[in-house]
Amino acid sequence: MAKRFLGLDIGPHSAHLAVLEYDLDQVTHIQLLESRLEDLPLQLADLRASLEGDFTFGDRLAAALPANVAYVRPLEFPFRDSKKIMAALPFEMGSRLPVPMDECVAAAQPAISTEEATAKVTAAAVPKVVLQDLLNPADAAGLPLHLLDLAPYAYVAGLSEWCSDGILVATSAVETTVSRIEAGQLTDYRLLPGGEERLSPGGLKALHREIRALTARDPKRANTIYLMGDDAIAELAEQLLQAGLPVEQLTMRLAGEEVPAAFIPAATLALRAAAKENRNAFNFRQGAFALKGEWQKLKTSLWISASLAVLICVVLASAAVINYRGTTKQVDALQAEMVALYRQTFPDSTTIVDVPLQMQSALRDLRERSSLIGGSQPNVLKVLKALSSLPNNLELDLQELDYGPGSVRLAGRTASFDALNQITEHLGRSTLFTDMQVTDAKLTADGNRVNFRLLLTLTGEGGQS
């Protein structure tokens, strides 16, 4: 997922904003913005209007306070626990400041443990009014500052890939800092005036003296002097080269583009925002000055999303209940209608358990009964007519007629076996029967007559087999 890291470099006559877009820990695109307005609120509003897109949850914006507004003190604590250190920090700093601690906000770098079970900490305190003068216009302009560091510490943290050893001279219209960097860590720095005074003979002499003092601490170490700042660095670099110092202007290339010299401080702060925890870094956005806007927006969005989700669930549940109740009413109405229809059709039925099943059973009985009169086989009237069409000279005493599906069973008495044969021959010529069988034939006890039983197989509808 792409993220944006932004660096804001503020000066009295201009402000610069560098936007670095990262994808898979690589800078893929940069945007450089500048405002030449004099007033800070106007500068920030101008930059925000030129910035592409809105701030998202993953964006991080960093800025740095000038070194001349902070009180930096090295402290040592008899314990290493970070929570205890932060709790004791205001009291320890308060005893070392020329102003009341209640008027300041203190921040500390990660502690460095020693062999004596103590911890050394570099701490800084900044007046609250200084923070308010920067944070209030930034919030009003819609530029949420996530990191508010301190120069030159923020520069060293952001330039770890470009300047890991040597002397870093960062100059602006506000101040000039001379920092000694060893293995990517700031070990010492000096604070000098900025503006026009830095190019004066006295300013150049002081700068030369401080650079010599920092390089003299380890003469055997390579001490390249890197120069970073505003448009005056070209002339400043020329003056230092004439003084015999190994100076080179810091250059930076990001996403295949060369970063102009005036934007390098802002780009460095953007790199500071992207950098992971660095023991040279501060962040004064804590306590009462902690950034709440981004989390508040996210929390509001989450609440809105959760409320919408609950509302949707309630609507769906209500619709399901209403639909279920409507369906239940329809089923009850249909059930009552079926019961009424069943009672009307079968008034003799007293027990009702399953109306559809009982109705199917009753209809099946009706179909069987109706087959006696009509259906897919010859009805009983046709069978009786066929029996009555026997010749008059044939004596037939019909005692039993069992008409059923597919067949007719006859039981009766005739004058002789010859008469029985004539009866079967006559019925066999009828189209109502496809087959007949004498299942029983015997003389009566007096020997004068013959008792018989016949099984007649009925044809299909219309007398066709």
- Which CATH number is 194's domain given? 3.30.420.40
Query: Is the pLDDT score of 148 beyond 90?
Result: yes
Task: Check whether residue 399 and residue 438 sit in a common domain.
Answer: yes
Q: How confident is the model at residue 396 (pLDDT cuts 50, 70, 90)?
A: confident
Quick check: is 308 in a domain? yes
DSSP letters spanning 428-447 = HTSTTEEEEEEEEEEE-TTS
Domain boundary at 370, 401, 418, which? 370
Pairing verdict, β 71-77 and 119-127: antiparallel
Q: Name residues whose C-beta falls within 8 Å of residue 343's C-beta, 6 or more positions apart in sequence.
A: 349, 352
pLDDT digits (tens, 9 = 90+) for 311-326: 888 888 888 888 888 8
Quick check: is 274 in a domain? no
Quick check: is 260 in a domain? no
Domain boundary at 320, 343, 370, which? 370
Quick check: is 397 in a domain? yes
Alpha helix stretches (DSSP H) within 159-254: 201-215, 233-242
What is the mean pLDDT of the segment spanning 220-241?
A: 84
Amino acid at 53: G
Task: Check whether residue 342 and residue 317 sit in a common domain.
Answer: yes
Query: Is the pLDDT score of 293 beyond 70?
Result: no
Q: How confident is the model at residue 20 (pLDDT cuts 50, 70, 90)?
A: very high
Quick check: is 284 in a domain? no
Give dist(CA 20, CA 32) in Å, integer. Answer: 9
Q: Print the domain residue range for 202.
A: 163-250
Query: Is the pLDDT score of 462 beyond 50?
Result: no
Residue with the two structure tokens 């009985």: 365
DSSP class of 391: -
Task: Check whether residue 244 and residue 312 sit in a common domain.
Answer: no
Length of the chain: 465
Amino acid at 324: Y
With 0-12 CB in 10 A as exposed, 13-18 as middle and 19+ as buried, what is 63?
Answer: buried
Amino acid at 167: I
DSSP letters spanning 255-269 = TTEEPPGGGHHHHHH
Task: Check whether residue 182 and residue 246 sit in a common domain.
Answer: yes
Quick check: is 320 in a domain? yes
Task: Check whether residue 325 and residue 358 sit in a common domain.
Answer: yes
Pairing verdict, β 225-229 and 185-193: unpaired
Give dist(CA 24, CA 260) in Å, integer. Answer: 25
Task: Give the Å distances, CA to CA, from 94 to 79, 125, 418.
Answer: 19, 9, 143
Task: Give the Å distances, CA to CA, from 57 to 4, 29, 292, 294.
Answer: 10, 19, 12, 7
Q: What is the pLDDT of residue 374?
A: 56
Quick check: is 15 in a domain? no
Domain boundary at 344, 370, 396, which? 370
Q: What is the pLDDT of residue 463?
A: 42
Quick check: is 24 in a domain? no
Give dist(CA 301, CA 16) in Å, integer. Answer: 31
Task: Check whether residue 333 and residue 361 sit in a common domain.
Answer: yes
Q: Share the mean pLDDT of the chain.
A: 86
Task: Check whether residue 455 and residue 409 sit in a common domain.
Answer: yes
What is the mean pLDDT of the segment spanning 72-87?
A: 89
Q: Which pair of tokens denotes residue 436?
A: 């007949």
Edge to edge, the sheet with strand 450-458 lists 396-404, 407-414, 450-458, 433-443
pLDDT digits (tens, 9 = 90+) for 323-371: 888 888 888 888 888 888 877 777 777 777 777 887 788 777 776 666 5
Task: Check whether residue 356 and residue 398 sit in a common domain.
Answer: no
Q: What is the pLDDT of residue 453?
A: 93
Q: What is the pLDDT of residue 300?
A: 66
Task: Check whether residue 365 and residue 397 sit in a common domain.
Answer: no
Residue 427: CATH number of its domain:
3.30.1360.100
Number of domains in the chain: 3
